[in-house]
Amino acid sequence: MAFHKITITINDELEQVVVPSNMTLMRMLRETQALTGTKNGCSAGECGACTVLMNGEPVNSCMILAVECDGGVITTVEGLAHDRQLDPIQEAIIEAGGVQCGFCTPGILISSRALLNRNPNPSDEDIREALVGNLCRCTGYMRIVEAVKKAAGMKIVAAPIPMPSD
Amino acid sequence: MEYNTHPALPEFEYIRPASLAEASDFLSHHPDTARPFLGGTDVLVRMRDGFIKPEFLVDMKNLDGTNDLRFDPSTGLTLGAAVNMNRVIASPDVQAHYPVLAEACRSVASYQLRTRATIVGNICNASPAGDTIGACLALDGTLQVHGVNGPRQEPLGEFFLGPGKTTLRPGDIVTLIHFPLPPKGCAGKYLKLGRNQLSDLSIVGVTALGYPDFSCQSGYHFRLALASVAPVPLVPAEAETYLATHSITLKTIDEAASLSADACSPIDDVRSSARYRKQMARNLSAKALTEVWKNLN
pLDDT of residue B8: 81
User: What is the rounded distance in angstroms from the CA atom of residue B272 to the CA atom of residue B204?
Assistant: 9
Determine the Cα angle at B229 with ends B274 and B43, to 5°.
110
How many angstroms separate the CA of residue A101 from the nearest CA in chain B? 20
Nearest CB to A24: which of B9, B59, B86?
A: B9
To the nearest 10°, report the CA torsion of B10, B14, B20, B24: -40
Q: Which residues of chain A make contact with B41, given a CB cutoff of 8 A? A: 45, 63
User: What is the rounded distance in angstroms from the CA atom of residue B64 to the CA atom of residue A3?
Assistant: 26
* A134/B198 Cβ within 8 A: no
Q: Which residues of chain B make contact with A45, given a CB cutoff of 8 A? A: 41, 44-45, 109, 113
User: What is the rounded distance in angstroms from the CA atom of residue A22 to the CA atom of residue A3?
Assistant: 9
| In this structure, CATH architecture of domain B69-179 | 2-Layer Sandwich (3.30)
Q: Which of A13, A132, A159 lies closest to B111, judged by CA?
A: A132
* B109/A57 Cβ within 8 A: no
| In this structure, CATH architecture of domain B187-296 | 2-Layer Sandwich (3.30)
Most A CBs within 10 Å: which of B111, B197, B200, as the mutation test of the A interface?
Answer: B111
Beta strands across the sheet bearing A3-10: A13-20, A3-10, A73-75, A51-54, A57-60
Most B CBs within 10 Å: which of A31, A108, A110, A132, as the mutation test of the B interface?
Answer: A132
B61 secondary structure, DSSP code: T
Domain ranges of chain A: 3-79, 88-152
* A67/B115 Cβ within 8 A: no
* A111/B14 Cβ within 8 A: no
- Which residue on chain B is closest to A125 by alpha carbon? B198
The ipTM assigned to this model is: 0.93
% of chain A exceeding 90 in pLDDT: 90
- Which residue on chain A is closest to B14 by alpha carbon? A21
B132 CB burial (10 A radius; 0-12, 13-18, 19+): buried
Domain spanning A88-152: CATH 3.40.50.11030? no
How many angstroms separate the CA of residue A114 from the nearest CA in chain B? 10
Nearest CB to B14: which of A21, A44, A57?
A: A21
pLDDT of residue B2: 55
Mean pLDDT value across residues A108-120: 97
Indicate whether B262 pLDDT > 70.
Answer: yes
Question: How many residues in total does chain B contain?
Answer: 297
Mean pLDDT value across residues B225-241: 98
Domain ranges of chain B: 13-59, 69-179, 187-296
Confirm whether pTM is higher than 0.90.
Answer: yes
Do residues B175 and B20 touch, judged by C-beta distance below 8 A? Answer: yes
Q: Which residues of chain B make contact with A20, given a CB cutoff of 8 A? A: 11
Give per-residue pLDDT as tens, A28-57.
Answer: 999 999 999 999 999 999 999 999 999 999
pLDDT of residue A158: 54
Which residues in B have their CB inside 8 Å of a CB on A? 6-14, 39-41, 44-45, 48, 57, 59, 61, 86, 109-113, 115-116, 198-199
Mean pLDDT value across residues A107-133: 96
Q: Which of A23, A108, A74, A86 lies closest to B111, judged by CA?
A: A108
Strand partners, B58: B15, B36
Indicate whether A156 pLDDT > 60.
Answer: no
How many angstroms separate the CA of residue B232 from the nearest CA in chain A? 24
CB pairs under 8 A between A and B: 84
Instruction: Please name the helix (run of DSSP H) or strand (run of DSSP E) that holds residue A149, with its range, or none.
Output: helix A142-152
CATH of A3-79, one of 1.20.1250.20, 3.10.20.30, 1.10.357.10, 3.60.15.10: 3.10.20.30
Indicate whether A160 pLDDT > 70.
Answer: no
* A45/B109 Cβ within 8 A: yes
A24 secondary structure, DSSP code: B
pLDDT of residue B4: 60
CB atoms within 10 A of CB A60: 34
| In this structure, CATH architecture of domain B13-59 | 2-Layer Sandwich (3.30)
